[in-house]
Amino acid sequence: MEEGQAAQYWLFQVHSRAFRLRDALRVGALATFELRAHKAKVRKGDKAIIWQAGKAAGCYALAAVVGDPSEMAVPGPELPFCRKPPASGVRVPIQVEYNLWNRPITRDMLPDSPAFEKFNAGRPGVNYAATRAQYEELEKLARQHDLLSEPAVE
C-alpha cells in the first residue's frame, strides 16, 4: 500500500466443504488466503473479514493483509486442512489479528445496523469488497467476546 493510501476492507470466505477453517485457526496454521476476485485491488495493509460459508457459517477471524497477492501454492501448514488437493493460484499473505475459532460471530449475532444491509457473506464466491463499518462492527463484537471470556480475578 502506498504511503497515505487508506486501507481497503475485504470479505474472504471459504466453504466448510473445501477447507477446515476452524481447525486451521485453532492451531494457528492460516497464513494465506485464496483470491479469485479483486486480485489487482487487494494490497498489503488492507483488512479482511475471514468468513466460513456453509455448515457453522460465521466470522472466524479478522486479519491484516501483510503482503501483496501473488501466484503461489498453498503453504505446507495449511495443506492438512484442505478437504481436497488444492490447485496453485493467486493467494495473499495474512496475519490473524482476532482468532475466533472457538467463538465465531454468526450472522444472527450481527447487530441490526445499516452496515450489514449489503453484507455479502454466504453468497457464492470467495472474495468480496467489505466496508470499514462492517469490519469495525465485527471487531467490536470480537472485543466484547474477549471481555466475556476473561477469567475472573479473585
Residue pLDDT, tens place only, 113-137: 788 888 878 777 788 999 999 999 9
Answer whether residue 2 is part of any domain.
Answer: no
2 grid coordinates: 502506498
Answer whether residue 75 is part of any domain.
Answer: yes
Give the type of residue at 65.
V
Looking at the structure of the chain, the number of domains it has is: 1
Answer whether residue 85 is part of any domain.
Answer: yes
pLDDT at 153 over 70: no
Answer whether residue 27 is part of any domain.
Answer: yes
Q: How far is CA 44 from the centre of its chain?
A: 15
115 grid coordinates: 452496515
Answer whether residue 24 is part of any domain.
Answer: yes
- Quote the pTM value: 0.88
Helix locations, 3-131, DSSP H = 21-26
Answer whether residue 154 is part of any domain.
Answer: no
- Read off the pLDDT of each residue in 49-72 and give the average, rounded to a whole number: 94
Answer whether residue 105 is part of any domain.
Answer: yes
Give the type of residue at 142.
A
Phi/psi-derived region of residue 45, left when phi > 0, alpha when psi is between -120 and 50, beta in every other case? left
SS3 content of the chain, % helix, strand, coil (to 5): 25, 30, 45
Answer whether residue 45 is part of any domain.
Answer: yes
- Beta strands 9-15 and 47-53 are parallel
**pLDDT for res 2:** 53
- Report the share of the chain in percent with pLDDT over 70: 91
Which residue range forms the structural domain that includes residue 119? 9-149
Question: Which residues in the chain belong to E strands, given as ranges?
Answer: 9-15, 32-34, 47-53, 58-65, 70-72, 89-99, 127-129
Phi first, then psi: give them for residue 39, nearest 5 degrees. Answer: -60, -35
Looking up residue 104, the CATH number of its domain turns out to be 3.10.590.10
